[in-house]
Amino acid sequence: MSLLAQSANKPGFFISFEGIDGAGKSTHIQAFADELALRFPNKEVVLTREPGGTELGEKLRDILLHHPMHLETEALLMFAARREHLATVIEPALQSGKIVISDRFTDASFAYQGGGRGLDLAKLYELEVWVQMRLQSNGVEQRYVLQPDLTFLFDLPSATAEARRSAARDPDKFEQLNTDFFEKVRQEYLRRAQDDAARFRIIDASQSREIIWKKLKEISLSI
Ligand code: TYD
């Protein structure tokens, strides 16, 4: 059965792209959206990002990426931006049958605020449930935590990512952190992937662009 037919977010389909800064996910995300638009001409593809994706969320993004703040404030603002994003962009799109692709989602909060910066994961699980818990009522009422149907994790050693970052651009607040930080971010991403293996596709991001693209195209065929 296709992944679309098994979607927990029917009639839509929700995909997230994740990875440490410098892993190269941004190079492929637009091309992947275009590929899905070709494969599913009757379904609109919505490409969005976190933090951000809404007018308020983009303002929060600007603050989050450039303003120093307490770690818990940072986590709360990430989830506040996510709440708005779900309410005004992601869920309406899924309910009208669209394919939503988000450049980062909750796994990034676990990886960066949890793994990287050391926020107690128990607090992040609480926020995840707080923001993503939904009630389904088809006869019986059932609670579930809304998640992407599919998550690409661009994985590579943090030292390789650091070399790519320093060649590429002026760093934001997160990108200025060191290799140790990013190794912890990476390990938390891998732990989340292990915890929810059915949702994740781990992409070896140390390979060439062409090989990565081939892999993404291959996975797109299973959607
Ligand atoms: P990123 O997605 O890498 O965008 P760009 O390619 O434009 O730099 O940047 C977003 C940054 O925000 C990235 O460093 C990860 C961080 N982030 C968190 O720390 N927690 C989160 O929950 C999210 C969504 C992002």
Which structural domains are found in the chain, ordered by start?
Answer: 13-220 (3.40.50.300)
What is the percent of the chain where pLDDT is above 70? 100
Selected residue with higher pLDDT from 22 and 112 = 112
Q: What pLDDT is recorded for position 51?
A: 98
Specify the pairing of strand 99-103 against strand 13-19.
Answer: parallel
* Cα of 50 from ligand 1 centre, angstroms: 7
Query: What is d(CA 16, CA 101) in angstroms, rounded to the nearest whole number?
Result: 6
Q: What pLDDT is recorded for position 34?
A: 97
Selected residue with higher pLDDT from 136 and 105 = 105
In angstroms, what CA-CA distances link 140 with 9, 54, 137, 146, 171? 18, 33, 5, 18, 50
Mean pLDDT, residues 105-125 taken together: 98
Q: Is the pLDDT of residue 176 over 80?
A: no
Q: What pLDDT is recorded for position 115?
A: 98
Q: What pLDDT is recorded for position 204?
A: 98
Angle, CA of 127, 177 and 175, to the nearest 5°: 80
Ligand 1: atom nearest CA of 79 is: 22
Q: What pLDDT is recorded for position 129?
A: 98
Confidence band, pLDDT 50/70/90 cuts, at residue 197: very high
Mean pLDDT, residues 18-26 taken together: 94
Q: What pLDDT is recorded for position 154?
A: 98
Structure tokens at 209: 């662009």
Around ligand 1, the residues with Cβ closer than 6 Å are: 21, 26, 50-51, 78, 103-104, 108-109, 112-113, 172, 174-175
Decide: 64 and 77 in contact? Cβ < 8 Å. Answer: yes
Give the predicted TM-score (pTM) of the model. 0.96
Confidence band, pLDDT 50/70/90 cuts, at residue 166: confident
Cβ neighbours of residue 75 under 8 Å, at least 6 residues apart?
A: 109, 113, 119, 123, 124, 127
Mean pLDDT, residues 164-193 taken together: 89
Confidence band, pLDDT 50/70/90 cuts, at residue 81: very high
Neighbours of 111 (CB within 10 A): 27
* Cα of 13 from ligand 1 centre, angstroms: 22
Q: Is the pLDDT of residue 100 over 90?
A: yes
Decide: 169 and 87 in contact? Cβ < 8 Å. Answer: no
Tell me the one-letter amino acid at 40.
Answer: F
Q: What pLDDT is recorded for position 174?
A: 82
In angstroms, what CA-CA distances link 124 with 116, 129, 131, 189? 13, 9, 10, 14
CA nearest ligand 1 atom 3, residue:
21
Beta bridge pairs of residue 136: 142
Confidence band, pLDDT 50/70/90 cuts, at residue 139: confident
What is the percent of the chain where pLDDT is above 90? 88
Q: What pLDDT is recorded for position 101?
A: 98
